[in-house]
């Protein structure tokens, strides 16, 4: 019971900025982006409505032709595609039947459609140079999840084709990005049903696995799971090579130090010039105070000067004391 309350609070902390955003009550700098997408009108609005009529919410109805009257039923949770999220996602300009067979327009859906092969990200995005799909795919294929492919894991395990929206990481939306990205992992790592679909392994309790980390809630709100679990790659904005747990970052000073690795991952969007002379640390400090990250060269010199100064004063003091003592006996 205690554990359950723990997990719920944990989830709430993590997803609150995201869910608040979707309900429209969260005011942030990135609202302009949201407004743009809210104004989006799909050329397939009407077409898609044929599907949303049933898949857009938890209830649907259809006319049963044998019985000759209307039947109401519940749409399974996992089969719901939320309309407002779809029209904000990367693939908002698509028609449902661009990716799904047009035969889905008939209901009941023909059984053989279940066997239909699905396009993978790389089928459409191969050769892309903006988002480095090929490099990402290569990394994914070396990551610990890849062995679960046969059981149904794929890019879609983390990127829902209907709701995934890319976030342009900026100083302003960093907290929101952290919450969004962590919710991706927690979709399986705090939901045993999803986890169990893919493995026979016993449930992993993420809270307990990270007990060594002090103040977990502060860390969950300020760093992403991928910071500690992936191998940093200079050439891709979001590293996808998730390493075995033994290789995850555990040393505090990987982040809590002048040369914080967060600069190569979470804060990568900042230009390298800004990073050079300690100014970059100032940005982290504005966002969140990372203990140790504010040590810069000038402060080091200053503290040496202060230290040296103090030694000098003590030295002078001792010198005069000795002279005074000597004078006493002369
Ligand atoms: C009258 C209601 C209704 C309409 C209209 C409808 N669906 Fe469905 N759909 C369902 C129900 C119920 C299920 C779950 C049962 C099943 O698989 O048949 C389902 C299942 C699905 C599945 C999952 C199949 C699987 O592999 O399990 C897909 C994909 C799908 N629908 C796509 C569509 C698309 C695309 C459209 C629009 C062109 C559409 N549906 C229109 C009711 C509907
Ligand atoms: C960019 C391609 C793409 C578009 C556009 C798309 N889908 Fe899908 N859809 C997929 C893929 C891929 C899956 C299988 C996901 C998986 O394996 O987890 C899927 C799965 C589904 C499912 C099964 C439940 C699930 O989430 O696994 C339903 C229902 C569905 N889609 C309905 C729709 C409807 C309705 C629309 C239009 C509003 C739509 N899809 C638009 C690619 C797409
Ligand atoms: C059926 C082909 C198809 C599939 C499958 C597909 N995409 Fe896309 N995707 C597109 C197209 C086309 C666009 C551009 C849409 C537009 O500009 O309106 C796009 C846009 C995007 C964007 C936004 C780019 C931008 O500049 O805003 C991202 C990110 C993206 N896709 C990621 C993915 C990921 C991740 C997957 C797999 C989980 C995937 N896509 C699967 C065709 C596809
Ligand atoms: C274990 C989870 C996971 C898997 C599996 C995964 N991704 Fe990602 N991916 C993420 C996360 C987390 C992000 C960061 C989300 C964001 O802020 O846009 C991301 C971001 C991306 C981006 C945007 C990069 C950018 O420049 O912002 C692309 C493109 C992408 N993934 C493609 C893929 C493709 C293709 C696959 C399959 C080969 C894949 N991903 C598999 C978790 C995953
Ligand atoms: C679609 C479900 C799903 C998602 C999403 C997911 N995982 Fe996993 N993950 C699993 C499963 C299942 C396992 C257990 C694999 C096994 O059988 O060993 C696992 C295992 C792990 C392990 C343990 C590896 C080991 O050495 O034992 C780590 C670490 C991990 N995941 C991190 C992440 C991170 C970080 C993310 C988000 C970027 C993520 N996962 C997203 C399903 C998922
Ligand atoms: C500060 C770094 C850090 C962060 C942030 C972090 N992890 Fe971990 N994680 C680790 C380390 C280190 C281990 C290995 C712990 C051990 O073996 O004692 C681990 C272990 C795990 C495991 C394997 C646990 C097991 O018992 O098999 C999973 C799954 C996992 N983490 C998922 C996540 C998810 C999901 C998130 C984001 C909510 C996350 N981690 C955030 C460092 C981190
Ligand atoms: C992946 C990077 C990362 C790692 C690894 C990491 N931390 Fe942190 N830690 C952060 C960030 C970012 C914050 C900022 C939180 C804030 O603004 O309060 C933080 C905050 C803290 C805080 C202050 C929490 C508060 O009360 O505000 C403490 C204490 C702390 N970390 C200790 C540790 C210790 C001890 C370790 C090693 C066992 C560790 N951290 C490992 C990134 C990290």
Q: Is residue 159 part of a domain?
A: yes
Task: Tell me, yes or no, whether 111 and 190 share the same domain.
Answer: no
Task: Tell me, yes or no, whether 183 and 155 share the same domain.
Answer: yes
| Tens digit of pLDDT at every position of the chain (330 positions) | 444 444 444 444 444 433 333 333 322 333 334 445 557 889 999 999 999 999 999 999 999 989 999 999 999 999 999 999 999 999 999 999 999 999 999 999 999 999 988 899 999 999 998 999 999 999 999 999 999 999 999 999 999 999 999 877 777 888 999 999 999 999 999 999 999 999 999 999 999 999 999 999 999 999 999 999 999 888 898 999 999 999 999 999 999 988 888 988 888 777 554 544 443 454 454 555 566 555 555 655 666 677 777 777 777 777 777 777 666 555
Query: Pick from 118, 135, 170: which residue ends a domain?
Result: 118
Ligand 1 centre to CA of 75 (Å) is: 9
Ligand 3 centre to CA of 165 (Å) is: 9
Query: In the prediction, which pLDDT does 173 show?
Result: 87
The whole model's pTM is what?
Answer: 0.86
Q: Is residue 80 part of a domain?
A: yes
Total domains, the chain: 3
Identify the residue whose tokens are 């200079």. 234
Task: Tell me, yes or no, whether 49 and 81 share the same domain.
Answer: yes
Task: Tell me, yes or no, whether 233 and 135 share the same domain.
Answer: yes
Q: Is residue 103 part of a domain?
A: yes
Distance CA 156, CA 75 (A): 21
Cis peptide bond N-terminal to 54, omega within 30: no
Task: Tell me, yes or no, whether 108 and 148 share the same domain.
Answer: no
Q: Is residue 77 part of a domain?
A: yes
Task: Tell me, yes or no, whether 135 and 191 share the same domain.
Answer: yes
Task: Tell me, yes or no, whether 200 and 231 share the same domain.
Answer: yes
Q: Is residue 325 part of a domain?
A: no
Task: Tell me, yes or no, whether 17 and 165 share the same domain.
Answer: yes
Ligand 7 centre to CA of 125 (Å) is: 37
Task: Tell me, yes or no, whether 230 and 100 share the same domain.
Answer: no
Distance CA 261, CA 252 (A): 11
Contact 281/294 with Cβ under 8 angstroms? yes
Supply φ then ψ for residue 192, to 5 degrees: -65, -30
How many residues can be counted in the chain? 330
Q: Is residue 210 part of a domain?
A: yes
Which of 188, 200, 245 is the pocket-test mutation for ligand 5 (most atoms within 8 Å of CB)? Answer: 188
Query: In the prediction, which pLDDT does 259 show?
Result: 82
Please name which of 119, 77, 78 lies closest in space to residue 100, comparing C-alpha atoms.
119
Ligand 4 centre to CA of 159 (Å) is: 7
Which of 202, 225, 257 is the pocket-test mutation for ligand 6 (most atoms within 8 Å of CB)? Answer: 225
Identify the residue whose tokens are 């309900």. 23
Distance CA 146, CA 169 (A): 26
- Ligand that comes closest to the CA of residue 106: 1
Residue 291: C-alpha distances to residues 81, 115, 126, 255 (Å): 42, 53, 41, 9
Query: In the prediction, which pLDDT does 17 show?
Result: 39
**Any residues with Cβ below 6 Å from ligand 6, and which?**
182, 185-186, 189, 204, 206, 209-210, 213, 219-220, 223, 225, 227-229, 245, 248-250
Distance CA 204, CA 192 (A): 8
- Other CB atoms within 10 A of residue 135 CB: 15
Ligand 2 centre to CA of 96 (Å) is: 7
Task: Tell me, yes or no, whether 111 and 174 share the same domain.
Answer: no
Task: Tell me, yes or no, whether 138 and 149 share the same domain.
Answer: yes
Task: Tell me, yes or no, whether 240 and 140 share the same domain.
Answer: yes
Identify the residue whose tokens are 């000067």. 305
Find the domain containing 294 and state its range: 257-305
Residue 263: C-alpha distances to residues 39, 118, 220, 257 (Å): 35, 37, 17, 11
Q: Is residue 144 part of a domain?
A: yes
């Amino acid at each position: 019971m205690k554990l359950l309350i723990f997990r719920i609070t944990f989830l709430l902390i993590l997803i609150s900025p995201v869910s608040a955003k979707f309900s429209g009550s969260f005011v942030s700098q990135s609202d302009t982006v949201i407004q743009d997408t809210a104004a989006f009108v799909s050329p397939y609005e009407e077409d898609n409505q044929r599907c949303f009529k049933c898949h857009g919410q938890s209830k649907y109805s259809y006319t049963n032709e044998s019985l000759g009257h209307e039947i109401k039923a519940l749409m399974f949770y996992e089969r719901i595609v939320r309309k407002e999220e779809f029209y904000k996602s990367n693939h908002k300009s698509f028609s449902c039947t661009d990716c799904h067979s047009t035969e889905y327009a008939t209901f009941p859906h023909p059984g053989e459609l279940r066997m239909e092969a699905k396009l993978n990200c790389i089928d459409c995005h191969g050769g892309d140079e903006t988002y480095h799909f090929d490099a990402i795919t290569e990394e994914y294929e070396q990551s610990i999840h890849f062995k679960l492919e046969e059981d149904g894991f794929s890019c879609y395990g983390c990127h829902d084709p209907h709701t995934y929206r890319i976030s342009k990481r900026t100083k302003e939306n960093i907290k929101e990005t952290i919450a969004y990205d962590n919710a991706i992992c927690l979709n399986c790592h705090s939901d045993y049903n999803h986890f169990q679909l893919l493995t026979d392994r016993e449930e992993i309790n993420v809270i307990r696995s990270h007990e060594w980390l002090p103040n977990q809630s502060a860390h969950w709100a300020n760093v992403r799971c991928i910071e500690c679990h992936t191998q940093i790659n200079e050439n891709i904005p979001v590293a996808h090579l998730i390493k075995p747990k033994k290789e995850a970052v555990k040393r505090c000073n990987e982040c809590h130090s002048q040369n914080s690795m967060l600069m190569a991952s979470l804060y990568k969007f900042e230009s390298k010039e800004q990073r050079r002379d300690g100014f970059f640390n100032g940005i982290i400090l504005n966002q969140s105070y990372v203990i140790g990250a504010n040590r810069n060269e000038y402060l080091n010199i200053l503290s040496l000067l202060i230290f040296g100064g103090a030694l000098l004063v003590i030295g002078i003091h001792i010198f005069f004391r000795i002279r005074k003592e000597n004078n006493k006996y002369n």
